[in-house]
């Protein structure tokens, strides 16, 4: 196993394809890689501008699109809990999927061997060559579940 060369991997990949390493791309990519959670485009712009003020919103979207097409990042909907924006995370930490609590809006990451098996089965059964798999679950986290009383799920009051 290498030391910690993981850090520059996306930029290396871009360079390897003959793409230009502009200061903007560096700032955007490094921001995504250093981010703890899931970033939306607006947040990514703000954070990237701390590293390189000359980053424009359009460039963020163009770079996200590029990284998506190169399969270096994954796009998440996270059940669109607030608005229609999307979120992004690096592929390296991939394999997991996301649970969104519809009450407290927290996002939980999870994985289980059955998920990998499912992908394999889908590939085998359908003949698809799979590029992206997005599994998202919406529900109520254990904390919110207790908090909202132990009665029946989905009382009218809560949903209407």
Partner DNA sequence: CTGCTGTTGCAACTGATTCGCAAATAGATA
Partner DNA sequence: TATCTATTTGCGAATCAGTTGCAACAGCAG
Token pair 């196993």: residue: 1
* β-strands 73-76, 97-101 pairing: unpaired
| Beta-carbon count within 10 A of 27 CB | 24
Residue 100 burial (10 A CB sphere; 0-12, 13-18, 19+): buried
Distance CA 113, CA 100 (A): 20
Token pair 């009051």: residue: 157
Pick 3 or 83: Cβ nearer DNA: 83
Beta carbon of residue 58, minimum distance to DNA (angstroms, whole number): 3
Residue numbers 35-64 binding DNA by CB under 7 A:
40-42, 54-59, 61-63
- The contact mask relative to its own copies for 56-95 (x = CB under 8 A, - = no) is -------------xxx---x-x-xx---x-----------
- The contact mask relative to DNA for 78-117 (x = CB under 7 A, - = no) is -----xxxx-------------------------------
- Judged by the rule CB under 5 A, the positions of this chain that interact with Mn ion are 77, 89, 109
Beta carbon of residue 106, minimum distance to Zn ion (angstroms, whole number): 5
Residue 40: strand, helix, or coil: strand
Contacts to DNA by CB under 7 A: 15, 18-25, 40-42, 54-59, 61-63, 65, 83-86
């Amino acid at each position: 196993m290498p030391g910690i060369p993981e850090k520059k991997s996306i930029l290396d990949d871009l360079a390897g394809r003959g793409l230009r390493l502009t200061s903007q791309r560096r700032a955007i990519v490094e921001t995504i890689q250093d981010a703890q959670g899931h970033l939306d485009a607006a947040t990514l712009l703000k954070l990237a501008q701390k590293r390189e003020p000359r980053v424009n919103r359009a460039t963020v979207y163009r770079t996200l699109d590029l990284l998506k097409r190169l399969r270096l990042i994954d796009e998440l909907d996270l059940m669109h809990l607030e608005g229609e924006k999307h979120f992004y995370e690096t592929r390296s930490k991939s394999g997991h999927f996301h649970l969104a609590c519809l009450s407290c809006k927290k996002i939980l990451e999870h994985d289980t061997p059955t998920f990998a098996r499912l992908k394999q089965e889908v590939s085998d059964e359908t003949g698809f060559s799979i590029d992206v798999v997005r599994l998202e679950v919406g529900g109520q986290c254990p904390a919110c579940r207790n908090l909202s009383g132990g009665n029946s799920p989905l009382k009218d009051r809560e949903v209407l």
